Chains A and B, each alone.
Chain A
Amino acid sequence: MSTTAVELEEHAAALAAVDGRRTLSQRIVDRAARAMRRGETRRSFLLKSAVVGSAVAVNPLQYMLRPGTAYASVCGPDAECADGWTVFCCSINGGQNACPPGTVTAGWWKADGSPFCGGGARYYLDCNAECHAGCGCGANGICGSGCHDWQCTCGTTECDHRRVACNAFRYGQCHQERACVGPVVCRVVSCVPPWQWDPSCTPAVATANATRLHHAPCLDRASDVDAFGAAADYGSPQSTTRPVVGMEGTPSGRGYWLVAADGGVFAYGDARFFGSTGAIVLNQPIVDLASQPDQRGYWLVAADGGIFSFGSARFHGSTGAIRLNQPIVGMAPTPSGNGYWLVARDGGVFCFGDARFEGSTGAIRLNQPIVGMAATPTDEGYWIVAADGGVFCFGDARFHGSLAADGGAPSVVDIDSTPFGDGYWLASGAESF
């Protein structure tokens, strides 16, 4: 039986152990694990189980009661053309959650309480068609159909059949220097406010909670790992039910773990699965994972600084009793395994066990929030990474490169170093916290 099937069987057993009954989620996981044993490829299996998981999470009642595919439930409500909403950009832009060529961000709104952003706000940016040079418009801010390169049509990718370039509307917070844009071509989503990474957007909030469950399968498929220095790429999930939020390399340097917001754990290379928080109702989403030096255990940390220990990992304290200015976004273990650091969104660092303070970004004006940290093998330094891929070094940590100059929507979710500290990985996800 493959490693992934073992992980799922253990997950299902953990679910049963918690409540003594076979839950819906457990039955789905069991079914998926049996499908894996029948010889499916790892990638197709991960995709199918994640899509089913997404359907249960996003639209459980519809998925169970109405005939249809899991994909249809993954897209959420109002996914047909006649429902009048606009398609997600990844559905028409080669899987990229970004404005396609010939469009420009013209505005945004948020939906509160989104399950895709750990219960927080999810942000939607409209990519409107660019108007041809010389085309004007009236006070409506929209140029006519002969003034842009798009035609009104319906999406045809998977279940996202929403509209393309049909709605002649703009929310208006972005690119206000452009008096005219065309209709909305598609929309980008992020858990990070747009005005934090698109300088053309003002922070004037518009809210539309009716869109909070709108989704598309392609939004779940954009997880990736980028390697720098001596680090190697061992793979990444084709799809996850929740965004990837953290990673940790094994002490051997021949593998790593990725963790999702619901505490789901994915192991690659020589990393092993020791459990997850899948059976626990979390107060706050999981934001990172840190492993023991013996590779036989790890910790998960939640946004409130709550610590969950698995395998050989021991509890050394948490920020539970501290009033945090900003949520915790990452953690790093000490080389001894007898302590760890927690880092907050503003770069504040909290030390537990034998971890020592080497500095923080508290005095630095950050362009983007901090999303993770990694420690050097000497216990005398650490790296802190921001959402745009900018890397900050403290103590004996050395700089090996960053993604900050690449531009685009910030998507880095974590950093981890090689065992000798001569390189690090930056992990990115479709939507980041």
Chain B
Amino acid sequence: MTHVAAHGLAVDTLPGWEARIFRHQAADPRESTRPIVHMANFALPRERGDFGGGVTDRMGPGDVFVTLFEYGPESTGKPLFAHQGRPKLNARRFSPAALQRTLPGQSGCQLFFTEAGRPFCLYVVIGSHARVPALVDQVERALARVNVGRMDRR
């Protein structure tokens, strides 16, 4: 088990899982870069798109990739983030179409919500749609070990 924490987020990983918490450097001072959590039950490649570019095309059937992507304070209270608290995962939330990049056989789930006053998107990719029922509980256990704290928004 590994503990990582930054930007008001903390993760205690499940055995066999990896986690990263990061925030891009803004190339333009008017850009808004927000914290991002990546988790996976396989070794995360160094070069990764925020929603799994360069990762999901390498996944096997039993692999799971998770993104927790935070939006800026201007998004707080918007209808897209109306759901309060992190929704629970279940197999019905997954679909082969719910993917940023629809690769054959894969399955995805994307949820928008507000937690601790912060707007988020949770995006989960499982390497095989057929494996969703078997893996979704493990994903939920991994997410239960992600802690979102309140922080001063800038």
Contact = CB atoms under 8 A, between A and B. Distances in A.
Residues of A in contact with B, size category: 35 or more
25 contacts: A83-B101, A109-B49, A139-B87, A139-B112, A139-B113, A140-B109, A141-B80, A142-B110, A166-B102, A167-B100, A167-B102, A168-B99, A169-B100, A169-B108, A171-B51, A176-B78, A177-B79, A179-B79, A179-B82, A202-B32, A203-B31, A206-B50, A209-B49, A210-B53, A210-B54
A169 to B, nearest CB: 5
Nearest to B101: A84
A202 B75 contact: yes
B71 interface: yes
A345 to B, nearest CB: 11
Nearest to A126: B100
Nearest to B112: A141
A196 B34 CA distance: 18
A82 B96 CA distance: 13
A209 B55 CA distance: 12
A85 B111 contact: no
B17 interface: no
A206 B80 contact: no
Contact of A176 (B26, B79, B99): B79
B28 interface: yes
B24 interface: yes
Interface string B47-64: 101110110000000000
Residues of B in contact with A, size category: 35 or more
A140 B78 CA distance: 14
Contacts of A112: 27
Given A179-B80, A196-B30, 19 more contacts: A82-B104, A83-B101, A84-B102, A84-B103, A140-B93, A141-B80, A142-B98, A167-B97, A168-B110, A173-B71, A176-B75, A176-B80, A177-B78, A203-B32, A204-B33, A206-B50, A208-B49, A208-B50, A208-B100
A163 interface: yes
A52 B140 CA distance: 50
Given A84-B103, A176-B81, A179-B79, A139 B111 contact: yes
A207 B50 contact: yes
Interface string A237-275: 000000000000000000000000000000000000000
A202 B71 contact: yes
A223 B153 CA distance: 42
Contacts of B113: 139
B47 to A, nearest CB: 7
Nearest to A167: B102
A202 B31 CA distance: 9
A167 B101 contact: yes
Contacts of B53: 208-211
Interface in A85-143: 85, 109, 112, 121, 138-142
Contacts of A193: 28, 30-31
A167 B30 CA distance: 30
A390 to B, nearest CB: 19
A85 B57 CA distance: 12
A176 B69 CA distance: 15
B135 interface: no
Nearest to B79: A179
Contacts of B111: 139-140
Contacts of A195: 30
A183 interface: yes
B152 interface: no
B150 interface: no
Pairs A-B, 4 closest by C-beta atoms: A208-B49, A176-B78, A210-B53, A179-B79
